[in-house]
Structure 1
Amino acid sequence: MKINQIIREKRKELSLTQEQIAELLGVSTPAVNKWEKGSTYPDITLLPALARLLKIDLNTLLSFNEDLTDIEIENFVNELDEIVQEQNYMSAFQMAIDKIHEYPTCDKLLYSATLYLDGALFLYSVPEPEQYRETFETFYKRLSVNEIPEIRDTAISMLISYARNRGEYSKAEELINMLPFSTIDREEQLAILYHKQKKYEDAEKIWEHRVLKGVTDIQTALINMLEIALLEKCNDNAEFFADMYKTITRQFCFPEWMRYNAHLLLAIDKKNKDECLSILKKMLPAMKKEWNVQDCQLYRNAKDSESTLFSSRLADTLCDELATKEEYAFVRDCIEFRELMAEMRS
């Protein structure tokens, strides 16, 4: 903690108001308010009296030698690893506890040392690990309210894991649902929890949704990468991305018409009339076909969708654009195209 935090917390612990502090020290209330906000600091001549008033020593008030640097913490964790390997886990654990007691307000030290020691339990197959995890859980609870998102989120994630592994599923779910929007994936945590609880259908629904979303994300990425390749005139890359798009779409049981998307973009960019017509003859009729997501084992628990209706409407829109937009003019001057459009309209 910084000096402003110490003044504020110690004042509150003693049930004193800012006005009382100001009166006892012979300063103004706004001055005390500024100290606690960190915008100004007490005059050096006031520090001994302020320390006595807050019932702490000057070293504590000034946060003397409070925090270790990031490099010092990194070196200390490396030292812990050497102790584990050269001596034993218990020696490293005790060494960490002593250092944490020496720097009780250094949360970065607490975070790094705890994460290392917790991971080392598994890495080095430490016997009777639960005797250490009780201490680690206490540390994670403290870190779960830290102001640094990385520290806070990791600590909460570890508390979820502890509760889940003990079978405390209600506690785990409570922690998951308390999570803010952060780097921790709430959906994933719930899926793992449901799996542990043998709520297999609930877990499977989440994973199925992840597959659907994941493939959609990959498709979007590949299309964007293809378009960039075309703009950069990297035709080999564009062909590769189009082939990958088609493979991913087919392998993950997405509607047939989708697998032609990327190659249609390539054919349009090249203004290759024959290739465009070949793709459209397969793609447009496929867009009118019914597709039930539950027919694929990957998505058997998925909810009913309106994807068939959507793709049929999309086919109509595409036909309109093919018939009117200038960029597709190169493909319109042939009988095959007109016949295909007439077939789709009927």
Structure 2
Amino acid sequence: MIMEVNIGPVLINQRKQHHITQQQLADFVGVSKAAVSKWETGQSYPDITLLPSLAAYFNLQIDDLLDYEPQLSTSEIQNIYNTLKKSFTTEPGEEVLTKLRSLIRRYYACYPFIQQMGLLILNHFTSLPGKDVADKQARYVAEARQLFIHVRENTDDTTLKLNARNLEAYTLILLHKPQEVLTLLGTATPTYLPAENLIATAYQMQHDTEKAQAVYQSAMYQHASVGMNYFTNYLTLLTADPAKFTETYRRGKAYAEVFKMATLNPLVYLNFLLATIMGLAQQQQTTVLFQVLTHYVDVLSHTEFPPVLHGDAYFDQIDDWLDTLDSGHQTPRNATMVQQQLVDIIQQDPTLAAYRSDKRWLPLARKLKEVGQHGPQ
């Protein structure tokens, strides 16, 4: 872990708050005004023996005076995230929340870490303490939003800032604040100039074909999952238009087959199938519903848990890129919870209640029960 000390800005801020001049501070600690000036501009640091006096002068703890910024490496962020994720199945939610908030306070200036902790809250807020799901969503999504705002307002990393803004918008959706989403993001579809094209071209100009290929592969891998999500979300808008719903499902399924989503990113594909099942149930398209439901159960039963992000014979140059992700090769949600939810929603959602008496339901229900009992590997 890299430690960055930022005593200069602290001294400037404290002097202004207390209306103290550089000369007054210098006189108190017994140094020259020029020495204080160098501390504040980062040209030098106070001798360690002066730190207690400086902290006492401004009524601060030494840690607050130093304003140290612990910067975690990508692998450290991955390890902490995955450890906390697993804790949801072994510890009470109150204990996990206490650990989570303690880590947030400790690494508040490590913006990639703070963003990942916001994601952890979004992905697992139902396991945190609260009266009910609505209460938990209101409390913890708002807490995650504040973390994303902190990142967006303080990081110098433009990519991280953009991601934080979009995640903040997602929390606003969950908090049912659509106008604030539009205020934050704007109302028009943004023009997209993919940086990956420029990066790959730069590598190509340097005659580094292998790196250029790796960039394109990682970009296509990401966009394949994003595209699948577009189909999923669009389906939910088409319940009242059966013809377009059917065509969107047909195209989405073909898209998934081209990119082998059932094996490369099964959770994204299962969500697409789930949206299709719910829409077909509302449209009372029984025959097609059972066809898709059978496929859903088959994919779910063949999905290994915990699912791991990986390439294949085509995407054979993405491992290095996956290693750079804050979540690494792991999916962001707890595997046990995800698998059980994918089973429970079919077994318990009231949208499917009318179909559970159909004779075609029984073999699917038995297979789902086996999946739920087997649990993640």
TM-score in terms of structure 2 length:
0.41
Which structure has greater helix proportion?
Answer: 1
Larger CA Rg, structure 1 vs 2: 1
